[in-house]
């Protein structure tokens, strides 16, 4: 038997080879050049050995595979860009051949003449699911841990190893398009109902079931290679096709506004591929994949939403030399909406949590919030009653600070008032051991100011969560002037333990995320005052790639909160810090019309009883003289909304509030959904080019004012032809560990 580094091959008495994929140096199997070379040799070995009837491919790990190693794609792109500068034609050819490597390897397996079965024992994503689809049958283990998906569209590319061709030949085109363009996860039951897998087996009988299919005479010829093959949902040119394709194109346009070239390419691949023989279809897919790989969207999304996100999740910014914390007990002060949410995510991570409030009744109410979330998950079939019992057993409601004794970390989420926070800090520290870390979940008060209440400012830090805590995937970790490495390391360990992404921010008013979000909202108020119809503002935001319009977002966070923030800003920074017209608009909504946002059922939108949908409040158009839609430059509205946020992100970098471009980009997408196709706020500027962006900012500044003034940093970058990822290279020696 040939020896392989990443696979073992054992043939049983029935002549069935069991190919077990188990990479020695990885926690999850992924495709690398070496893995594909070995698979190529394994196919040859199976075919050449007359004693082998067929093969079963499975994984030696808990999961099957996460798919392609996207850092390999990132390297391919870097090689391509370097080569393109010298010889564009050779560079494109190299990219085309690289894109086809997996495609034609899977096709070789599919047409090798011996049956292959994929035995899926855990998560099976991307290229690994495409490999499974190229096998002649697929068996999935009947387990909650089994999820199958082709999620490539989420990082700006698409399933380019036969996925766009095999899925619509195994299931109907409507389900195929939905799966491919959304990257949705499939359970074994859903995949079987769609016809994408052959059988579901008990986990212990997975390999046995897969082998039984080969013993039972499984055909080594794919359905589409057999004469007379018919598409499951009927041909493209049919009544069904005529009913599907025109709306599918319209729905894609409605959902993506043309911002995601990969999603458009999926539709083209499926449509064109189903009209031609299978090998030609694969060639069409390979061409589109090569084209998409060259798009700036793919480069930016792979970098931010895969590579950078993974690096931050693994603790890229964690100080070296500080031991990992294994949390035994965590305290949460304040059992309101935020505190209750923090207690839930902590308990969900299996960490015991003490939830403290002014009386036991309030603390119990905070615990009930977790029970409510779990009930919702049980109802949707995403959790079991015993999961709820286990989680609730980890939350101890109390009104006594003595119960915080033994906590490794305490998170304060009390009312946003300096005096209340001071009392909470002092009472907690009186009980805690000196090595414990104290974190504040403040959203507005600088951490350095709050740390003055602490007897040990080195162990005082900010962990800023976003609402609702159970759904939002980001946490801002804020360093005060005196915060030490140990506190930073522990905060990162905690954020990773609760499966959120940490970004490290130096202390400033509004930190990073809120500074950007407030600019976004403020620009929308300005547009309203100019007489731009509200519906155009909201539509421009969505067309620019934002998930929620700025007026809807203000309603979600509450208009009276916006009013409080503006008033506090005036108190702290003087009258000129807030545009008086914007202050007047917010005062009018709150004080005159009692429109506070979603929480009281009326804000910029009206919120009728369900099932009716929210709609913009008609009274908005009476507040200011309205411009005619044809007199408004819609493209400029889009530019203003993205540029105003990106400029604030550039200022944050200039002020050294954020020091790593990965955090600015990933943070902006995870916290408020900054147009993901751009790769985030700084990638948006890099994608346009500093010189061109500064010119755009100058033009907007002339027309709309100081919020579009480019910071000196950007002007300097424009002059030197620099980019954020060059100037603030996170991989430069010694960089990217701790904020300066």
Closest-CA residue to 454 (of 481, 429, 486, 417):
429
pLDDT 10s digits, 222-244: 999 999 999 998 999 999 999 99
Mean pLDDT of 173-200: 96
Question: DSSP states of 95-151 as a string?
Answer: HHHHHHHHHHHHHHHHTSSS-EEEEE-S-EETHHHHHHHHSSEEEEESSTT--EE--
Cα dihedral across residues 725, 731, 735, 736: positive or negative:
positive
The DSSP code for 592 is I
pLDDT 10s digits, 552-607: 999 998 999 899 889 988 988 898 889 999 999 999 999 999 999 998 999 999 99
pLDDT at position 446 over 60? yes
pLDDT for the residue numbered 561: 87
Mean pLDDT of 384-406: 96
What integer best gives the mean pLDDT of the chain?
A: 94
CA 512, chain centre distance (Å): 18
pLDDT at position 701 over 80? yes
Reading the block at residue 282, the tokens are 């694969």
pLDDT for the residue numbered 366: 96
Mean pLDDT of 640-647: 98
- Domain definitions of the chain by residue range: 7-294, 330-509, 514-594+622-727
pLDDT 10s digits, 524-562: 999 999 999 999 999 999 999 999 999 999 999 899 989
Q: Which CATH number fits domain 330-509: 3.40.50.1820, 3.30.9.10, 3.40.50.720, 3.40.50.970?
A: 3.40.50.720
pLDDT at position 73 over 90? no
| Predicted TM-score (pTM) of this structure | 0.92
pLDDT for the residue numbered 77: 83
Element (H, E) at 11: strand 7-11
| Alpha-carbon gap, residue 272 to 281, rounded angstroms | 7
Closest-CA residue to 495 (of 631, 355, 624, 317):
317
pLDDT for the residue numbered 510: 75
pLDDT 10s digits, 286-333: 999 999 999 999 999 999 999 999 999 999 999 999 999 999 999 999
Q: Return the CATH number of the domain spanning residue range 514-594+622-727.
A: 1.10.1040.50
Looking at domain 7-294, does it have CATH number 3.90.226.10?
Answer: yes
Closest-CA residue to 358 (of 299, 302, 420):
420
Element (H, E) at 200: strand 199-201
pLDDT for the residue numbered 737: 39
pLDDT for the residue numbered 738: 38
pLDDT for the residue numbered 508: 81
pLDDT 10s digits, 119-143: 999 999 999 999 999 999 999 999 9
C-alpha Rg value of the chain to the nearest Å: 28
| SS3 of residue 519 by DSSP | helix
How confident is residue 78, by pLDDT bands cut at 50, 70 and 90? confident
pLDDT at position 273 over 80? yes
> What are the strands, taking DSSP E only, across 339-494?
353-356, 395-398, 409-412, 437-440, 460-465, 474-479
Residues of the chain with pLDDT > 70, as a percent, come to 99
The DSSP code for 223 is G
CA 116, chain centre distance (Å): 34
Mean pLDDT of 203-216: 97
Reading the block at residue 649, the tokens are 């992100």
Closest-CA residue to 201 (of 287, 119, 85, 91):
119
């Amino acid at each position: 038997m040939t020896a392989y580094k990443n696979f073992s091959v054992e043939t049983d008495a029935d002549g069935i080879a069991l190919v077990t994929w188990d990479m020695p140096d990885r926690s999850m199997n992924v495709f690398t050049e070496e893995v594909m070379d070995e698979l190529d040799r394994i196919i040859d070995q199976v075919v050449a050995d007359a004693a082998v009837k067929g093969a079963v491919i499975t994984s030696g790990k808990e999961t099957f595979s996460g798919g392609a190693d996207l850092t390999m794609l990132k390297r391919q792109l870097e090689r391509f860009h370097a080569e393109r500068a010298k010889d564009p034609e050779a560079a494109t050819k190299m990219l085309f051949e690289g894109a086809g490597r997996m495609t034609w390897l899977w096709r070789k397996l599919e047409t090798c003449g011996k049956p292959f079965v994929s035995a899926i024992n855990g998560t099976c994503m991307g290229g690994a699911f495409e490999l499974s689809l190229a096998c002649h049958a697929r068996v999935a283990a009947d387990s909650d841990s089994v999820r199958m998906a082709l999620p490539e569209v989420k990082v700006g590319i698409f399933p380019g190893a036969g996925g766009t061709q095999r899925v619509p030949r195994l299931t109907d085109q409507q389900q195929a398009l939905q799966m491919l363009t959304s990257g949705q996860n499939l359970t074994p039951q859903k995949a079987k109902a769609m016809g994408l897998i052959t059988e579901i087996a008990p986990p212990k009988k997975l390999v046995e079931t897969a082998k039984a299919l080969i013993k039972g005479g499984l055909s080594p010829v794919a359905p589409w290679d057999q004469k007379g093959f018919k598409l499951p949902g009927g041909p493209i040119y049919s009544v069904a096709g005529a009913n599907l394709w025109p709306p599918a194109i319209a729905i894609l346009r409605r959902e993506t506004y043309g911002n995601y070239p990969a999603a458009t390419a999926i539709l083209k691949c499926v449509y064109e591929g189903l009209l031609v023989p299978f090998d030609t279809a694969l060639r069409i897919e390979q061409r589109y994949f090569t084209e998409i790989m060259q798009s700036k969207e793919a480069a930016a999304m792979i970098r931010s939403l895969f590579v950078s996100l993974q690096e931050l999740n693994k603790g890229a910014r964690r100080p070296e030399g500080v031991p990992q914390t294994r949390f035994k007990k965590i305290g949460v002060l304040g059992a309101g909406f935020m505190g209750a949410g923090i207690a839930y995510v902590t308990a969900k991570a299996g960490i015991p949590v003490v939830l403290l409030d002014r009386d036991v009744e309030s603390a119990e109410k905070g615990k009930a919030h977790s029970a409510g979330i779990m009930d919702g998950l049980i109802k949707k079939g995403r959790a079991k009653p015993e999961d709820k019992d286990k989680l609730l057993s980890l939350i101890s409601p109390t009104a006594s600070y003595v119960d915080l004794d033994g906590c490794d970390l305490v998170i304060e989420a009390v009312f946003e008032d300096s005096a209340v926070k001071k009392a909470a800090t002092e009472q907690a520290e009186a009980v805690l051991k000196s090595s414990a870390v104290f974190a504040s979940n403040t959203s507005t008060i600088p951490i350095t100011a709050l740390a003055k209440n602490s007897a040990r400012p080195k162990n005082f830090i900010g962990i800023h969560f976003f609402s609702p805590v159970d759904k939002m995937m980001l946490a801002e970790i804020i360093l005060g002037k005196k915060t030490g490495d140990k506190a930073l390391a522990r905060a990162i360990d905690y954020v990773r333990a609760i499966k959120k992404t940490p970004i490290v921010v130096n202390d400033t008013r509004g930190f990073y995320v809120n500074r950007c979000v407030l600019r976004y909202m403020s620009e929308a108020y300005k547009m309203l005052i100019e007489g731009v119809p509200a519906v155009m503002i909201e539509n421009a935001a969505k067309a620019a790639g934002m998930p929620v319009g700025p007026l809807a977002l203000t309603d979600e966070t509450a208009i009276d909160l916006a009013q409080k923030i503006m008033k506090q800003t005036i108190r702290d920074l003087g009258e000129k810090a807030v545009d008086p017209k914007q202050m007047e608009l917010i005062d009018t909504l709150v004080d005159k019309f009692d429109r506070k946002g979603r929480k009281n059922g009326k804000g910029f939108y009206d919120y009728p009883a369900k099932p009716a949908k929210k709609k913009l409040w008609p009274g908005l158009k009476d507040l200011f003289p309205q411009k005619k839609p044809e007199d408004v430059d819609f493209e400029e509205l889009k530019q203003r909304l993205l540029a105003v946020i990106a400029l604030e992100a550039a200022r944050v970098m200039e002020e050294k509030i954020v020091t790593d471009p990965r955090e600015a980009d990933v943070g902006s997408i995870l916290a408020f959904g900054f147009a993901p196709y751009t790769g985030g706020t700084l990638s948006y500027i890099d994608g346009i080019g500093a010189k061109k962006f500064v010119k755009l900012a100058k033009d907007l500044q002339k027309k709309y004012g100081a919020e579009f003034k480019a910071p000196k940093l950007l002007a300097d970058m424009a002059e030197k032809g620099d980019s954020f990822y060059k100037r603030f290279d996170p991989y430069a020696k010694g960089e990217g560990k701790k904020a300066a």
